[in-house]
Chains A and B, each alone.
Chain A
């Protein structure tokens, strides 16, 4: 199965949930899955961009949560001992304000990832995965 066939897995068919601190909504989050037949090391993620309803979210606003840790997108290239397991969902946390309950939003994720076992001739295969789904806030 070609790598692009897995793209449909990238944005999970789940809901958006608001992040609360006490009664205060401080953002929202949704889940993503690594789009491949296997997992990968976080350092192989070369780029992530997130758009919600067509609006590009600044990476500084995003927390990438996996394995009980939240990291910045810009930190990913350094995390060569941290593994994103095949069926584990990472959470994309967008900080700012929450979203209206039961509203629906178009979530678009672009992921550029290096395939770490393909560098036989000095160059690694790099895949671009894109997935857009409409998710509901619950």
Chain B
């Protein structure tokens, strides 16, 4: 069975090149096409001039550039910047205003989906449904580590998404960070740089992968303070909050997926997130949306395109198996 899964990219993945002005917005689109991606996600707060109120001229320019580089603008990535005021958090009305505007700009620029954040609240999420219907655009909330489907607020969100009237309009963007169960290379490098001994760290990670608690790991070895610190950091950051099977619960409401990663090996694989199992579930489900690469391991020292090309290779290789 040939998969209908498409490969996209969050332009966030090119952050170091963009923020250091080595690449313009247009350069990012060209690079995206050249690397083999089809769909694009724009993080509006990052790459949209005059944000949060971009001009029609820029939105038109954006559409032209997307067409010129033979891409499809899939997602307009929005924020719930609750804390912009120094005296109080944003009110419901203010969050509605920002979100409604994001839906309008996304529609104008030709995106199909707006990604927002879970801080939107169930009340406001539901309140946006008429706007989504009016504009025929999807509003999705990203589920990012440390969240998972059993977090109380997410149970509320998933209940809303399951209602027949919200179908096709309100959904979720599962971010694969929720399935990250063990430290990636960048974290391991930082632990070593922070004073951990190689052999001790290897033991800590093995114990963590075996399911031992922080207390059990620490009790089982003669560890330095830096190593004990790394145990707590690993337990805090790499504890795979969601079970792999949870992904099946999310797929019916997920028009878009974040293929998060921090480091892919030279063999184009991620030893820290179960990509093969997750992609297999997508194929079995008959998924037809995008999996968008969201590379978060970038630095100013290494060209992110090395990792992004590996992502395309990895996904294509895995999909061919099913």
- Partner-B contacts on A (CB < 8 A): 1, 5-6, 8-9, 33, 36-39, 41, 43-44, 46, 77-78, 80, 83, 85-87, 114-120, 124
Contact = CB atoms under 8 A, between A and B. Distances in A.
B85 A80 contact: yes
Residue of A36, A41, A77, A114 with most chain B CB atoms under a 10 A cut-off: A41
Interface string B27-63: 0000000000000000101110111100000000000
Nearest to B119: A120
Interface in B231-268: none
A35 B115 CA distance: 24
Contacts of A37: 12, 15, 19, 43, 46
Contact of B46 (A5, A86, A114): A86
A117 B86 CA distance: 13
B18 A86 contact: yes
Interface in B54-94: 79-86, 89
Given A1-B297, A5-B300, A117-B117, A87 B19 contact: yes
A117 B81 contact: yes
Interface residues of B, number: 32
9 contacts: A1-B15, A1-B299, A33-B19, A36-B19, A37-B19, A37-B43, A44-B84, A119-B89, A120-B118
A44 B79 CA distance: 15
Given A36-B19, A37-B15, A117-B82, 20 more contacts: A1-B297, A1-B299, A9-B19, A38-B43, A38-B45, A39-B46, A41-B81, A44-B84, A78-B86, A83-B51, A85-B49, A87-B19, A116-B79, A116-B81, A116-B82, A116-B84, A117-B79, A117-B119, A119-B119, A120-B118
B216 interface: no
Determine the main DSSP class of A at the interface with B.
loop
A28 to B, nearest CB: 23
Contacts of A46: 86
A1 B51 contact: no
B86 to A, nearest CB: 4
B21 interface: yes
A81 to B, nearest CB: 8
A78 B85 CA distance: 7
A77 B86 contact: yes
A25 B102 CA distance: 45
Given A37-B46, A117-B79, A117-B82, A86 B89 contact: no
Residue of B43, B81, B117 with most chain A CB atoms under a 10 A cut-off: B81
Nearest to A125: B83
A34 B116 CA distance: 23
A102 to B, nearest CB: 25
A43 B84 contact: yes
A19 B15 CA distance: 33
B298 interface: yes
Contacts of B80: 117
Given A80-B84, A116-B81, A119-B82, A39 B299 contact: no
A41 B118 CA distance: 20
B108 to A, nearest CB: 19
Contacts of B50: 83, 85
A43 B52 contact: no
B81 A86 contact: no
| In the A-B complex, the 10 residue pairs with the closest CB atoms | A116-B81, A116-B83, A77-B86, A38-B46, A38-B45, A41-B84, A124-B83, A37-B15, A116-B84, A119-B83
Contacts of A33: 19
B296 A117 contact: no
A9 B297 contact: no
Nearest to B297: A1
Contact of B51 (A9, A39, A116, A124): A39
A116 to B, nearest CB: 4
B168 interface: no
Contacts of A83: 50-52
